[in-house]
Structure 1
Amino acid sequence: MDTMRDRFAPTLSRLLDEDPRVAVVLAVIGADGFAEAQRKHPERVIDVGIREQLLVGAGAGLALAGMRPVMHTFASFLVERPFEQVKLDFGHQGVGGVLVSAAASFDWPAGGYTHMSPGDVALLDTLDGWTVHVPGHPDEAETLLRHAVAAGDDKVYVRLSVQSNARALPVDGTRFHTVREGRGGVVVAVGPMLDNVLAAAEGLDLTVLYATTVRPFDAEALRRATGAATVADVVVVEPYLAGTSTAAVNDALADVPHRVLGLGVGRAELRRYGQVDEHMAAHGLDIRSLRERISRWAGAAASSRILV
């Protein structure tokens, strides 16, 4: 199966053909995938070199000129390094664009900590008005990229990863998807965490919601799911910094007695490269660890077998 990033350049190249407002801004990374598009649209495929602050600033300039800019590089270079430009050039100036990242939290461990960005979504949470898509499959990535580009002049972040679920689910760029229903609590599985969550929750009486658009947070779906459960216990399993969405859950259930557990990438830096699956296990996001943590948290309410 191809990866989300494999889909990125072909999908965006088609969008460049279809919509004269669309422009792509690169900082060397990913430029090879746009060689043909650059020949066809040299004024709308721009490589600024290894200058990530300029990458975002140039995108904002295109937005001010009425274009729909799509900016792409690794997450650590797209959100963290040029954060001031994201904050001021887009937020302060009131223009929109699409940030599309690669490498996610630790997709390229050999690149070291400079190429890891578990805090990207939490950092964007400090700003107003960003839509955040976290696809869990290449088909979903293509759909959500098209949603992002078509989203008027909104500010949108699309987080691509080499991690993927086995199959795509319907995504609409807005709502959570109910994968299964239970009475002992709710687990919100974000993007590529779904397969591990489903395996970890097998036999437990839990509702599983699938989230590929995490900002805005689908409070209505969560309230429906917890309202149908015996207890309002919520576990959020995210492929980035643990606890990033716990505040969103608390806001959604502000008038309901509830508990929330945020699982994701820990704050402690892992100083060995390893492989992606080793990082998953070290952060407690593998199937065995998730089952232990979810079962312990949800307790007796979720421990009964599901009758099918």
Structure 2
Amino acid sequence: MPAAQELFDCRKAWATTLESLAEEDTRIVAVVNDSVGSSNLGGFQARFPDRIVNVGIAEQVMVGVGAGLANGGRVPFVSAASCFLTGRALEQIKADVAYSNYNVKLVGQSSGVAYGELGATHHSIEDLTWLRAMPQITTIVPADPWETEEAVRWAAAHDGPVYLRLSRMKVPDLGPDADGARRFTPGRARTMRHGDEATILASGTTVHLALNAADELAAEGIDVRVLSFHTLNPIDVDAVLAAAEETKAIITVEEGLKSGGLGGAVAELVTANTPVPLERIGFDGFQTTGDAETLFAKAGLSADGIKSATHRVLGRKSKDR
């Protein structure tokens, strides 16, 4: 992908889309924890002042209010920094949203290590591990502004709980799928590049890094498949098993704990169905204080890191033979 490609903040796409949907559907409301600014909801508040509820710094209350609004026929988008939304209010997410199967849209802002310098208390790398254990909650990790807009529109129309994981780190627009079209279907991965040597499964802020790595690998004569796994709950089982059956190895890439997120889900599937060499790139436990770029590099979340992992896993395949 071009080095000078324009970068976008997906939170702007989320806010613009929500305002547009709220204009058409008066049931849509926002619930925040003193996070109007960080949620990019200033415009929403100005346009719909009677349709935003600010509970203050009380995340458990925030999720409970969202559940109550859903029970009353509203379509609440409950928005907060993902580390506090999924950490402090996990019990309410479990009992009030998932167990009750209420039509609440949880929006985790500035996810992953976007708050890098604030340290482990503000990193949100455990959220996908926690929420993947609740199959009632459709869990979506958009990779670019287009996926973000599509995810918000789908969530508003879907009858059931949803978790949207948004980052404040800027990313490029991925453009169309490998066949020239653009398709967003929750539970179905997007094929961004074809290849038969290995498959890179990436989500969120890491998909463009996977594509950059694929370009560099192609220059070496190694054609890899790249999939955008924007949905972790439910996971695209068919795409994972096809990758295991049709290519020689799999690499998973994610801005989260590799033990329980995308990497964990893929490991569970391939070991139970079609064992294949697997490399997982992500975080191992709590991260140190540091800017996001430094933390990414340390974890191998870069084109070079992904390329190295691809060489390692293909080397393991050669040795197996």
Q: Cα offset for 1:144?
A: 0.9
Does the alignment pair 1:211 with 2:223?
no
Q: Does 1:87 align with 2:116?
A: no
SS at match of 1:115: coil
Q: Distance in 1 between matches of 2:61 and 2:76?
A: 13
Counterpart in the other structure of 2:238 = 220
Contact 1:143 / 1:171 at 8 angstroms: preserved in 2? no
CA deviations 1:52-107 (Å, max 9, x no partner) are 11111100111111111101111101111110110111122221211111111111
In structure 2, how many angstroms separate the alpha carbons of the residues matched to 1:56 and 1:130? Answer: 14
Q: How does 1:167-178 map to 2 (within 5 A)?
A: 167-169=174-176, 170-174=182-186, 175-178=188-191
Match of 1:115 among 103, 115, 122: 122
Contact 2:278 2:313 in 1 (8 A): no
Question: Residue by residue, what CA displacement relative to the aligned partner does 1:128-173 show, whole Å, maximum 9, x if unpaired?
Answer: 3111111111222111111111112x11111111241343443413
The residue number in structure 1 matching 2:83 is 76
Instruction: State the TM-score, normalizing by the size of structure 1.
Output: 0.88
Counterpart in the other structure of 1:7: 13
Q: Distance in 1 between matches of 2:196 and 2:316?
A: 11
Answer whether contact 1:135 1:160 (CA < 8 A) is retained.
yes
Residue 21 (1) aligns with residue 34 (2): no
Residues 116, 123 of structure 2: 8 Å contact kept = yes
CA contact (8 A) 2:135 2:233 kept: no
Amino acid in the other structure paired with 1:18: E
Q: Compare 154-163 and 37-46 and name the one that shifted more.
A: 37-46
Aligned length: 297
Q: Tell me the SS of whatever aligns to 2:307.
A: helix
CA contact (8 A) 1:238 1:264 kept: yes
Percent of aligned pairs with the same residue?
29
Distance 1:37 1:293, change over 3 A: closer
TM-score normalised to the size of structure 2?
0.85
- Bigger shift: residues 26-35 or 123-132: 26-35
Equivalent residues in 2 for 1:95-114, closer than 5 Å: 95-114=102-121
Partners of 1:163 and 1:41 lie apart in 2 by 27
Moved over 6 A (4+): none
- Identify the residue that residue 185 of structure 1 maps to in structure 2: 198
Change (3 A) 1:291 1:2: closer
**Take 1:198 and 1:41, find their aligned partners in 2: how far apart are those partners?**
39
Q: Secondary structure at the match of 1:30?
A: coil
1:282–1:178 CA distance, 2 compared to 1 (3 A): same
Q: Which runs of 5+ in 1 are unaligned?
A: 303-308
Would you say the 8 A contact 1:173–1:212 is kept in 2?
no
Deviations 1:102-125 (A, max 9, x none): 111111223332221111101111
User: Structure 2: which 5+ residue stretches go unaligned?
Assistant: 1-6, 177-181
Deviation at 1:194, TM superposition (A): 1.8
- Structure 1 position 39, deviation (Å): 5.0
1:249 partner letter: V
- Of residues 234, 239, 248 in structure 1, which corresponds to 2:265? 248
* Residues 176/26 of structure 1: CA separation in 2 closer, same or farther (3 Å cut): same
Asked if the contact 1:185–1:301 (Cα under 8 Å) also holds between the matched residues in 2, the reply is no
Q: Structure 2 residue aligned with 1:198, among 199, 211, 220?
A: 211
Indicate conservation of the 8 Å contact 2:67/2:96, yes or no. Answer: yes
Give 3-state SS (helix, strand or coil) of 2:23's partner. helix
How far apart are 1:127 and its partner, in Å?
1.8
Q: Deviations over 1:244-301 (max 9, x none)?
A: 224432454433232333211221421x33x221111011112222211221112276
Cα contact 2:277–2:317 (8 A) shared by 1: no
Residue 263 (structure 1) aligned with residue 281 (structure 2): yes
SS in structure 2 at match of 1:114 = coil
Report the equivalent of 1:306. none
